[in-house]
Amino acid sequence: MTATVRIPTPLRSATGGAATVAVDGTTVGEVVRSLDAAHPGVAERILDDNGRVRRFVNVFVDDEDIRFAGGLETAVPDGATVSIIPAVAGG
Amino acid sequence: MFLPVTYVQALQCRECGRRVDVAATHACGFCFGPLEVVYDYDAMRGVVTRERIAAGPPTLWRYADLLPVLDGPADARDAARVDLGAGFTPLVPAPRLGATIGLDDLWIKNDTLNPTGAFKDRVVSVALTAARRLGFDTAACASTGNLAQSVAAHAAASGMRAIVLVPSDLEQAKILATAVYGPTLVAVKGTYDDVNRLCGELADAYGWAFVNVNVRPFYAEGSKTIGFEIAEQLGWRLPDQVVAPMASGAMLVKIEKAFRELINLELVDDRTCRVSGAQASGCSPITAAYKRGGDAILPVRPDTIAKSLAIGDPADGYYALEAVDRSGGVMEDVSDPEIIDGIKLLARTEGIFGETAAGVTIAVLHKLAAQGRIGRGDRTVAVISGTGLKTTDAVAPTVGPTFEITASLDEFQAALSLQEPA
């Protein structure tokens, strides 16, 4: 089960500059672990000390915000795109 | 001549405290927390005085020392300024509204009187001024409407290109009032949060100044000027209570910050001003977190007529909770019918036609007064952030001509049940 992870600019220093990374995983949590295995140090940027997604990190599986789905347990279908996007505000 | 000095030192992450040099970036490179401008307050002390501020222009730029003016020759700083005259809006007593809802010392901060009719002119003026100093020629934003109009207007006036993205279901008046300035206006089928997410990706990809994304540290500072003005207009004194609307929560956060800066610089006496936040019940992720008593903000899908506040995933929500807690304020939310009543109540008692966000603020103010959470004698300021002329759809079903007649004296007298004039 392969997913494409879209890496935001501030995180690309940890992915050797890559804007997208293909990794294995059936849940968002597994995808993050796979990403960290391929690019050590990425996980601590996305997850806090308690292993939860950081307050200012949004994760989407295709177009679904994982906070509306199952959080780190959200299923990642084969071929899905996982987007990591820093929170932004405005209005 | 009033020349601003730069006291900006760096940008600092509000989450992990890491510092970076001043640049067009909004998120911490390590933990993605929001970056905030750091100033050299020690250098300001004794230099930034009431007199110096009073000698400045009658706009938000009188507080330039406390804004993120970027370094460079003074003439370059002046040339970069993008200024349609935002800020220094009236702070007016509201005795008739106060009498109606049981408050004896009520004031309205009337930000409907900004150049495009909303407080957003403050943040845009500051953001585009910084953007020009940083070398940008294109201004962009995600917006629920007011920001789009303000960016389009300020970009037009400064010769910048404007690219603004809005949810396609916005009030028609906000769409037209933005389009008239000639920006590239992109209506996105989705919520504000969908638009925002797209902009987060665009800001990574193109060299544009997204005022509420990559230029956000500078942009957000503009809202402090509401707090500065309230204090100055009350004779350099903080009120007892302020009630402000919350979308992202940033405006409330910056008002509370402004008060702390003024205390820090000894421009006002050190006294507590309770800052309270108002949301629409149909989009109340911050007040919901407040009422739950936790610090977790759960995003919501907005469903309210208060579209300018319809941010379901408010990134300053955590800091709004902290600011309200620190100042001893509270949070409350109100239904759509209450919002409409609030709009009409403000208009009919004080002659100020605010938008739906104003209805939210007035309805929450009313609720807090009725509950005794704002005391009758408290000097209270309600922040009215935008004009009602852009959200007439909200009141259209319940207001209109009292009578429709032909141009006949008889019909007029009959309609109003008048006697023959003596």
Residue of B262, B224, B288, B167 whose CA lies nearest to B36 = B224
The answer to whether B86 faces chain A, any CB pair under 8 Å, is no
With a CB cutoff of 8 Å and minimum separation 6, the contacts of A50 are: none
Rounded CA-CA distance B33/B37 in Å is 13
CATH topology of domain B90-398: Rossmann fold (3.40.50)
Rounded CA-CA distance A38/B307 in Å is 43
Rounded CA-CA distance B135/B158 in Å is 13
Identify the pLDDT of residue B1: 39
Residue of B396, B422, B264 whose CA lies nearest to B340 = B396
Q: What are phi and psi of A38, to 5 degrees?
A: -75, -35
- Report pLDDT digits (tens) over B334-366: 999 999 999 999 999 999 999 999 999 999 999
Look up residue B197 and give its two tokens. 């997410």
- For tokens 């966000």, the residue is B357
Is A44 inside a domain boundary? yes
Q: State the DSSP code for B418.
A: P
Q: Are strands B35-39 and B274-280 parallel, antiparallel or unpaired?
A: unpaired
The answer to whether A65 faces chain B, any CB pair under 8 Å, is yes
Residue of B236, B279, B243, B278 whose CA lies nearest to B259 = B236
Which residues on chain A are in Cβ contact (under 8 Å) with B192? Answer: 91
Within B58-167, residue ranges assigned H as helices are 74-80, 95-101, 120-133, 146-158
Neighbours of A8 (CB within 10 A): 19
Rounded CA-CA distance B265/B268 in Å is 8
Rounded CA-CA distance A46/A36 in Å is 10
Identify the pLDDT of residue B72: 66
- Report pLDDT digits (tens) over B205-240: 899 999 988 999 999 999 999 999 999 999 999 999
Total length of chain A: 91
Which residues on chain B are in Cβ contact (under 8 Å) with A89? Answer: 34, 196, 212, 216, 248-250, 311, 314-316
The answer to whether B119 faces chain A, any CB pair under 8 Å, is no
Identify the pLDDT of residue B6: 85
With a CB cutoff of 8 Å and minimum separation 6, the contacts of B115 are: B84, B85, B86, B121, B150, B153
Percent of chain B whose predicted confidence (pLDDT) is above 90: 84
pLDDT at A89 over 60: no
pLDDT at B422 over 90: no
Instruction: Write down the mean pLDDT value for chain B.
Output: 94
Segment A12-22 mean pLDDT: 93
Segment B29-58 mean pLDDT: 94
**B385 within 8 A of B353, measured Cβ to Cβ:** no
Identify the pLDDT of residue A88: 65
How open is the CA angle B404-B407-B411, to the nearest 5 degrees?
65
Q: Based on C-alpha coordinates, what's the Rg of chain B?
A: 22
Is A71 inside a domain boundary? yes
Q: What total number of domains does chain A contain?
A: 1
- Three-state SS string over B252-308 comes to HHHHHHHHHHHHHCCCCCCCCCEEEEEEECCECHHHHHHHHCCCCCCCCCCCCCCHH
Which residues on chain B are in Cβ contact (under 8 Å) with A67? Answer: 298-299
Rounded CA-CA distance B409/A54 in Å is 70
Identify the pLDDT of residue A90: 55
Inter-chain touch B27–A91, beta carbons under 8 Å: no
Is A74 inside a domain boundary? yes
How confident is residue B35, by pLDDT bands cut at 50, 70 and 90?
very high
How confident is residue B135, by pLDDT bands cut at 50, 70 and 90?
very high
Name which of A55, A61, A66, A68 to mutate to probe chain B: the one with the most chain B Cβ atoms within 10 A of its Cβ.
A55
Which chain B residue's Cα is nearest to A83?
B201
pLDDT at B277 over 50: yes
Total length of chain B: 422
Question: How many Å is the maximal CA-CA distance in chain A?
Answer: 38
Single-letter code of the amino acid located at B2: F
Inter-chain touch A90–B197, beta carbons under 8 Å: no
Look at residue A28 and give its three-state secondary structure: helix
Is A60 inside a domain boundary? yes
B208-233 exposure pattern, b = at least 16 Cβ within 10 A, e = fewer: bbbbbbbbbbbbbbbbbbbbbbbbbb
Pairwise pLDDT comparison (B422 vs B199), residue with the higher score: B199
ipTM of the complex: 0.80
The answer to whether B200 faces chain A, any CB pair under 8 Å, is yes
Rounded CA-CA distance B36/B244 in Å is 21
How confident is residue A85, by pLDDT bands cut at 50, 70 and 90?
confident
Inter-chain touch B311–A89, beta carbons under 8 Å: yes
Out of B30, B192, B200, whose CB is closest to A91?
A: B192
Is A91 inside a domain boundary? no
Closest approach of chain A CAs to the CA of B406, in angstroms? 45
pLDDT at B160 over 70: yes
Size of interface A-B (CB pairs under 8 A): 97
CA B174 from chain centre, in angstroms, equals 16
- Report pLDDT digits (tens) over B73-96: 655 656 789 999 999 999 999 999
Look up residue B24 and give its two tokens. 């067009």
Which chain B residue's Cα is nearest to A63?
B194
Closest approach of chain B CAs to the CA of A78, in angstroms? 23
How confident is residue B292, by pLDDT bands cut at 50, 70 and 90?
very high
Segment A25-33 mean pLDDT: 96
Closest approach of chain A CAs to the CA of B147, in angstroms? 6
With a CB cutoff of 8 Å and minimum separation 6, the contacts of A90 are: B141, B142, B143, B147, B196, B211, B212, B213, B216, B248, B250, B311
Mean pLDDT lowest for which of A61-75, B151-165, B375-389?
A: A61-75
Is A13 inside a domain boundary? yes
* CA contacts within 13 A on the Cβ side of B292: 12
CATH of the domain at A36: 3.10.20.30
pLDDT at A30 over 70: yes
Single-letter code of the amino acid located at B162: A
**B384 within 8 A of B343, measured Cβ to Cβ:** no
Residue of B119, B134, B372, B150 whose CA lies nearest to B245 = B119
Which chain A residue's Cα is nearest to B298?
A67
The answer to whether A17 faces chain B, any CB pair under 8 Å, is no
Identify the pLDDT of residue B74: 59
Out of B31, B147, B318, whose CB is closest to A90?
A: B147
Percent of chain B whose predicted confidence (pLDDT) is above 70: 97
Identify the pLDDT of residue B267: 98
How confident is residue B284, by pLDDT bands cut at 50, 70 and 90?
very high
Inter-chain touch A88–B33, beta carbons under 8 Å: no
